[in-house]
Structure 1
């Protein structure tokens, strides 16, 4: 609680700093009005005080100021700028502008925001369905009949919605890397990996700290210690793994928050994006080969693991708990098995950028593509609908085929929609009142997902008496409203300020390193120029220049010898070399003629 109190104080301080000029102006107006409304005696006294203050300020201005060192002043200014930037990162006005604005690179892809929001909502319903098994229901038969219907397949396939989130993440990461390599002709791997790895750490640790040290003390009941207390124990034991994004190396039953496993897989799969973007830019054939090989490896891993371990990626009727945990450990938390949707996001981003943001096909092929997309969506959900009935018989071959191909089929449908959907930036600008809430919920999707688990877990554990099942146990409007409010609080207190701080610190670290390298390079170039200039002025140990063969200036006989040698060689500049000698001969002949005449 003290941390939350400190964060609130920082937010208020940042708000006061941004509105300081406005506050000073209004306070000055209030003082002016109060002075005008004061009695005449007080006004005269106030004028005398003003005159005295002006005299004091004039005397202070006449005093010479002591010079301050330039280095100290620059250092103080730099430190002050850093502190002000850190304070400004927590500004609620800046956070609201970032969350509500319809500007930025992601405005071109409204479909991606729709996928993020809808997937987050369906993951909430799937979590509610799982938690309903802990509730002491008096009409459990009615609950079983409700979840046996065909429409229940929508929340019995949570892995499909997690794959959709991975595809969106791969698309956005590749789009950013492609822009970087277009602008700078290189990819700063260390900077990008550090930025990606630290994106979720502040809010993850904030939520896990609440689950570990605060939430266990906020309630009680027969289910409280079994759910919340056990979750707090697991969080305190496994929390350190989140710092290295390796929380998915433990078993699913030992993890305290299922979403953190998804985030770890996302960070680990991010390493594929720079590799494939670089290969595509340098050697497209090699990139295509590596891309296809990774796809084949992921599909084969899902099929082999499902067939060998008898897994199921859907919650069918009568599914054993051990099968659920084995599926989570071997498929949900495995980067190899989950690589297919992320690779599809990378591929569609590269195709979209290479086509200049506009992908077109022959008009007769577009209806065929939409028809195949509709059939593919139907296969992803209807093929698993048979497992919703009580008379379902599990088949290893069917489960393996569905686990292997359903992420690929669903990902291809989403890729088709990204390329061919008519929703672009002009739709967002045309309907801003509809797009703004959608973009807002999409930008706080991570706080929404983390808050969902905390709220659903605490509400399920707080049940103290038997109750009757109704549809609100799967979709509670009040609970969703509370989750949204908690997510907004997390976004304003932690998530968005942490993003601003992360960008500022990472950019400052890497810019300073680049400047240091440039300065050392300039110094080395200066040293090289100095060595070159000194080599140009080198003198020989002998008193003669190194390019001459005579020890002193040639005498007259030597000059005549040289002239004869040049005249004997037929060169194009022979006339130029003999020109001075011929002129001297003419002058001598003229002098002899003049003497004869005399």
Structure 2
């Protein structure tokens, strides 16, 4: 392992040798040179790459190239033939859907949508930025720093608990997903009294799959040919090999049940989990609408069972949802396999979002507060958030010895505490108890980010690992590297391109052929 999680236990050398030499030749030579120092050497053939090698065209690669050429053709036709008018036929509407001019205008149009829910943009933007930095720090751990010990010591300081507790930021997205899904389903139930299961599932598929497919095809068949470097095979080629073998699992949205070792593009586990929770939400919301008490009892019972499962998994497998100091790569993989990427174990925070959507829709959610009472609620919010993130800080300090009970309690209770924080803060925002923070919460930056959030989520790891793979020199670690402006700018640009070229056109394709034009698919 090492294509996802860094190999802290190894010193890695990048060596240039003639392409006629094999990995065994290099291993023999290094073993001979270093034998007097008592150092053993292993050179893995899978990590050797040849510059400018010509790869054969497999069926998958031909299919990927055809897919992207078709997208480029549609974008070209749609942009050139766009006369600013709405098409009369479905084919004309299809071409308009792929017009870059139209889609760019929509991306930068920051006017409020009638279906927009207050607070969602700010929550998504803040947590996405926190996750972006956490993911960047993971990628940085692959880099060859001359002061690697200093790098490790920095992340063993008490403040590093902000990054070690990164699971709470992913919990935020599960909360938002549960809230938005339930909110939209409740709107359908209010209008029609029922849920069109087939239409909802199809809409969800169009929302998630085209961008997901584009990323998988690009990283599997296109990206490996673009460049090379000492760690290229480890962080780029290895993902390609895993994807060629296991991509079909991602097509079915079941890839999160097979662990990181066998997962195509490991950071996409959230997509599979989100899809499965969405499918489970459909009958739950229907029951809640028809039989209120039964629905509430079911939701609370499932949330409790999910909490118990998290506790038991941590205790049984000696794992942790908190990245404690000295945790092994294998323990991180086990934590993912047995709890982190399973919807049964992550359902609690998602269902808290569902219940919050139901509460916001009810008349009981409108409670009048004085200014002092509102300040008190916000103080409670920030207190909950601070405690949830910072309470396990001792686990991140050097010398920590793993203990079952604190690790299990952190996994079991954290989603509940973070969910309460999200609910209280969201309720205050929805009821205009933000005060001076209104300008921040309603910022145009958050509204813009909300439109490209899916692109940012999908593109960040391939860009991070691309830069790790091509790096041919060691450098001096500094915390400033966490905010690498050129890299962040590339993520922003790639996300905008992916949004206007893939996500928005295919969302529009659903509206043209399967949905209703007035449906706001983005919020589903």
TM-score by length of 1: 0.71
Cα contact 1:138–1:469 (8 A) shared by 2: yes
Partner in structure 2 of residue 107 of structure 1:
116
- Residue 276 of structure 1 deviates from its aligned partner by 3.0
- Flag the structure with higher helix content: 1
Q: Return the match for 2:295 from 284, 287, 292.
A: 287
Q: Take 1:82 and 1:356, find their aligned partners in 2: how far apart are those partners? A: 45
For residues 433 and 499 of structure 2, what CA distance do their matches in structure 1 show?
A: 25
| Counterpart for residue 274 of structure 1 | 282
Shift of 1:368: 4.6
Mapped contact 1:331–1:337 kept (Cα < 8 A): yes
1:10 counterpart residue number: 74
Q: How does 1:353-502 map to 2 (within 5 A)?
A: 353-355=361-363, 358-360=366-368, 366-421=374-429, 435-502=443-510
C-alpha contact 1:108 1:425 (8 A) present in aligned 2: no
Matches within 5 A, 1:501-540: 501-507=509-515
Q: Does 1:316 align with 2:324?
A: yes
User: Secondary structure of the residue that 1:507 maps to in structure 2?
Assistant: coil
Instruction: Report the Cα distance in structure 2 between the residues aligned to 1:398 and 1:275, rounded to whole angstroms.
Output: 36
Q: What is the deviation of 1:148? A: 1.8
Q: Structure 2 regions of 5+ residues with no counterpart?
A: 1-64, 518-524
Superposition TM-score, scaled by structure 2 size: 0.80
Preserved contact between residue 201 and residue 242 of structure 1 (Cα < 8 Å) = no
Does the Cα contact within 8 Å between 1:128 and 1:473 map onto a contact in 2?
no
Corresponding residue for residue 83 of structure 2? 19
Matching residue of 1:222? 230
* Cα distance in structure 1, aligned partners of 2:145 and 2:225: 26
TM superposition shift of 1:507? 2.1
Which residue is 2:180 aligned to?
172
Counterpart contact for 2:168–2:389, Cα < 8 Å: no
Which of 119, 131, 148 does residue 140 from structure 1 map onto? Answer: 148
Offset at 1:361? 5.7
- Match of 1:205? 213
- Residue of structure 2 equivalent to 1:259: 267
In structure 1, distance between residues paired with 2:380 and 2:176: 21
**Aligned counterparts of 1:423 and 1:296: Cα–Cα separation in 2:** 29
Note if contact 1:148-1:389 (Cα within 8 Å) is conserved in structure 2: yes
**How far apart in 1 are the matches of 2:300 and 2:430?**
29
Q: 1:144 to 1:178 in 2, by over 3 A?
A: same
SS at match of 1:415: helix
Contact 2:374 2:433 in 1 (8 A): no
CA RMSD, 1 decimal: 2.7
Deviation (angstroms), 1:98:
3.0
Q: Do 2:428 and 2:434's aligned partners in 1 also have CA atoms closer than 8 Å?
A: no
How far residue 424 of structure 1 moved from its aligned partner, in angstroms, is 5.6
Classify 1:176/1:311 alpha carbon distance in 2 versus 1 (closer, same or farther; 3 Å).
same
Corresponding residue number in structure 2 for 1:548: none
> Who is 2:244 aligned against?
236
Tell me if the contact between 1:197 and 1:245 (Cα under 8 Å) persists in the aligned partners. no
Give the CA deviation at 1:244: 1.5
Give the alignment partner of residue 96 of structure 2, picking from 88, 110, 114.
88
Q: Larger Cα Rg: Structure 1 or Structure 2?
A: 1
SS at match of 1:104: coil
Give yes or no for contact 1:228–1:457 (8 Å, CA) kept in 2: yes
Shift of 1:161: 0.9
Closer, same or farther: CA 106–312 of 1 in aligned 2, 3 Å = farther
Q: Distance in 2 between matches of 1:294 and 1:134?
A: 39
Post-superposition offset of 1:432: 11
Q: For the Cα contact (< 8 Å) 1:359–1:419, is it kept in 2?
A: no
Matched, 1:331 2:395: no
Match of 2:310 among 285, 288, 302: 302
Residues 291, 132 of structure 1: alpha-carbon distance in 2 compared, 3 angstrom cutoff: same
CA distance in 1 between counterparts of 2:433 and 2:268 reads 32
Q: Which of 351, 356, 362 is the equivalent residue of 1:348?
A: 356
1:504 Cα deviation from its structure 2 partner: 2.2
